[in-house]
Amino acid sequence: MDYFAQQLINGLVLGSIYGLIAIGYTMVYGIVGMINFAHGDIFMIGGFIALISFLVLVSLGLTAIPLILLIVLLVSMAITALYGWTIERIAYRPLRHSFRLAPMLSAIGMSFVLTNFSQVSQGARVKPVPPIITGGYTLHEGAQGFAVQLSNIQIMVVLATIVVLALFTWLVSRTRLGRDMRACEQDQTMAALLGVDVDRTISMTFVIGAALAAVAGMMYLLYYGLVDFFMGFVAGIKAFTAAVLGGIGSLPGAMLGGLAIGLIETFWSAYFSVEYKDVAAFSILIVVLIFMPTGLLGRPEVEKV
Amino acid sequence: MSAAAATTPLLAVRGVRAAYGKIEALKGVDIEINRGEIVALIGANGAGKSTLMMTIFGRPRARAGRIEFDGHDITGVPTHEIARLRIAQSPEGRRIFPRMSVAENLQMGADATECSDAEREAGLERVFALFPRLKERIAQRGGTLSGGEQQMLAIGRALMSRPRLLMLDEPSLGLAPLIARQIFDAIRTLNRQDGLTVLIVEQNANHALKLAHRGYVMVNGLITLAGTGAELLQRPEIRAAYLEGGRRG
């Protein structure tokens, strides 16, 4: 039981990170109907910017950890968002009215560009950071000496995810920008007829998706204590899987899918074998898609006439 | 307002050509709409009526000719900026946002132009006075409304932007005669009370020409006849093509 509870905690933390990345995939898919294969690398960029800004702040002599973390969060969100905006502008927008696969191919190319850019500019080695947030709580002292641990960093990852999601939900459901985004997702022509600047709204979608990925990148850095130029690939594929599992296009579905993938992976590693954790996650995906082709919370694609 | 501004038409379409791909849908169309007028555009299916409405919004863009609104050339202006000039459209197929509530659909209309909270409230009251049904359905998703309710919502949404020119594409399509009459009455009321300028595309030529001050007849992407509503109703070729023939068919 204790072991199970511990894995549940670990799975939820990992799932939060996947979920934050998955939202970026699902948002972009919903509004422009493309899979942004460079999104995983945006997450990696977010991790690097968090690391760099952290080192800069420390070298400037800042010592207050909460202040440093807040600044790092805001800086990495802002700069990563700028990456998202730029990529959409130079690699996707010119191809928007081209054939359907064109922006997707461009996205795959963009993914390589970001990976290689990081490799060249930051080096190929894994960049470790010393633990920044330490300590935690022992929730339950088990009989066989196994204790359920909840570390401060885990609390922080989950809390940050909840806060970011609450803000994001408010943005999408209550603000003018959110309404415009949903309008573009449902009918771009009608949105334009009602004065919505569709290009600008699509740009903002990429900006917000990238900012969420930056939060995930920073959490990853703090939680695992390392970043490397290749980490966007696997995390990106997992988050994409999460988005599909939850129902691509559905925002709550992306978060739910992220948590599901995180839990499946963690429990499989805990009870079966670590080597096959990815196989387990993708097998579940296949099973779900066979029985629920639109994912957990997706809606069936209705042909427009 | 100067005398010149009062005499320029609110909307002038001059020699406009437009195409979808290689199929030319408009082959040099001229129409004018003056302030405070209801103008009907009638014609058979595929004549280019809906295309003309969309071309005024730049979708598709006119390949030749010129579109002027209130004396300004809007031929190359982006669609969303045309909407912000307070031209509103209830388009073909209604195009309600299916996963937004009725309230949000109406808010999308209000967002099209900068308006104060008071103006928005007044706009909502006006829409609910015309279509009390929408008030009952305020929290319901657009996609779950009946066809008639969606039509009301499309018109209501267009009105929320406090338009200077309201364009209605087949507002009576697929509606029960009683509801169609309600909608025509609502348009007449808006025109008489608020001086709203309206361009209406209709398959129901009889209704539309009775409602309109002037009308245009469109055939294969060209305007073939123009005149007052009453004149057009008397023309034998109109009666044969769109009234009696329509009844037999």
Q: How far is B84 from chain A (nearest CA, A)?
A: 6
Most confident range, picked from A58-62, A65-69, A73-77: A73-77
A300 has a chain B CB within 8 A of its CB: no
A277 has a chain B CB within 8 A of its CB: no
A176 has a chain B CB within 8 A of its CB: yes
Q: How far is B98 from chain A (nearest CA, A)?
A: 7
Residue A122 has pLDDT above 70, yes or no: yes
Report DSSP state, residue B212: -
Q: Which domain holds residue A139?
A: 2-291
Q: Is residue A113 part of a domain?
A: yes
What is the average pLDDT across B207-234?
93
Q: Give me chain A's average pLDDT, please.
A: 92
Q: In the block, which residue shows the tokens 């909460």?
A: A66
What confidence tier does B249 reach under pLDDT thresholds 50, 70, 90? very low
Q: Is A40 exposed, middle or buried (0-12, 13-18, 19+ CB in 10 A)?
A: buried
Instruction: Return the structure tokens found at B223.
Output: 């305007």
Q: Is residue A304 part of a domain?
A: no
| Residues contacting B12, CB < 8 A, separation 6+ | B31, B32, B33, B66, B67, B68
What are the backbone dihedrals phi and psi of residue B90, each rounded to the nearest 5 degrees, phi first? -100, 100
Residue A28: which H helix or E strand, with range?
Answer: helix A2-32
- Residue of B20, B85, B97 to mutate when probing chain A, most A C-beta within 10 A: B97
Q: Is residue A159 part of a domain?
A: yes
Spatial distance between the Cα atoms of B127 and B131, rounded to a whole number of angstroms: 6
* Beta-carbon separation of A192 and B57 below 8 A: yes
CA dist B163 to A69, B35, B81, Å?
Answer: 49, 12, 14
Q: Is residue A297 part of a domain?
A: no
What residues of chain A lie within 8 A of the CB of B59, using their CB? 189, 192-193
Does the interface predicted TM-score (ipTM) exceed 0.95? no
What confidence tier does B5 reach under pLDDT thresholds 50, 70, 90? low
| Closest residue to A192, CB basis, from B80, B99, B113 | B80
Instruction: Return the structure tokens found at B61.
Output: 């863009």
Report DSSP state, residue B48: S
DSSP A246-303: H-TT-HHHHHHHHHHHHHHHHHHHHHS-GGGHHHHHHHHHHHHHHH-TT-SS--PPPP
Q: Is residue A97 part of a domain?
A: yes
Q: Which of A262-271, B36-45, B194-203, B233-242 has the lowest mean pLDDT?
A: B233-242
Q: Is residue A234 part of a domain?
A: yes
The string of pLDDT tens digits covering residues A187-207 is 999 999 999 999 999 999 999
Considering its fold, how many domains does chain A have in total? 1
Q: In the block, which residue shows the tokens 């006439």?
A: A305
pTM: 0.91
The CA-CA-CA angle for residues A225, A254, A215, to 5°, reads 35
- Residue of A194, A251, A302 to mutate when probing chain B, most B C-beta within 10 A: A194
Residue B37 has pLDDT above 70, yes or no: yes
A182 has a chain B CB within 8 A of its CB: yes
The string of pLDDT tens digits covering residues B152-187 is 999 999 999 999 999 999 998 878 888 888 889 989
Residue pair A245/A59 in contact (Cβ under 8 Å)? The answer is no
Spatial distance between the Cα atoms of A187 and A203, rounded to a whole number of angstroms: 17
SS3 B63: coil
Where residue A123 sits, what CATH number does that domain have?
Answer: 1.10.3470
Q: Is residue A54 part of a domain?
A: yes
The pLDDT value given to residue B6: 60
Higher-confidence residue: A45 or B208?
A: A45
Instruction: Return the structure tokens found at B131.
Output: 């279509």
The share of chain A scoring above pLDDT 90, in percent, equals 76
Axis crossing angle, helix B177-194 with helix B117-130, rounded to the nearest 10: 140
Q: Burial code of A82-116, b = ≥16 C-beta within 10 A, e = fewer?
A: ebbeebbeebbbebeeeeeeebbebbeebbeebbe
Instruction: Return the structure tokens found at A4.
Output: 């199970």
Q: Is residue A296 part of a domain?
A: no
* Beta-carbon separation of A187 and B83 below 8 A: no
E strand segments, chain A:
127-128, 136-141, 147-151, 226-227
Q: Is B48 exposed, middle or buried (0-12, 13-18, 19+ CB in 10 A)?
A: buried
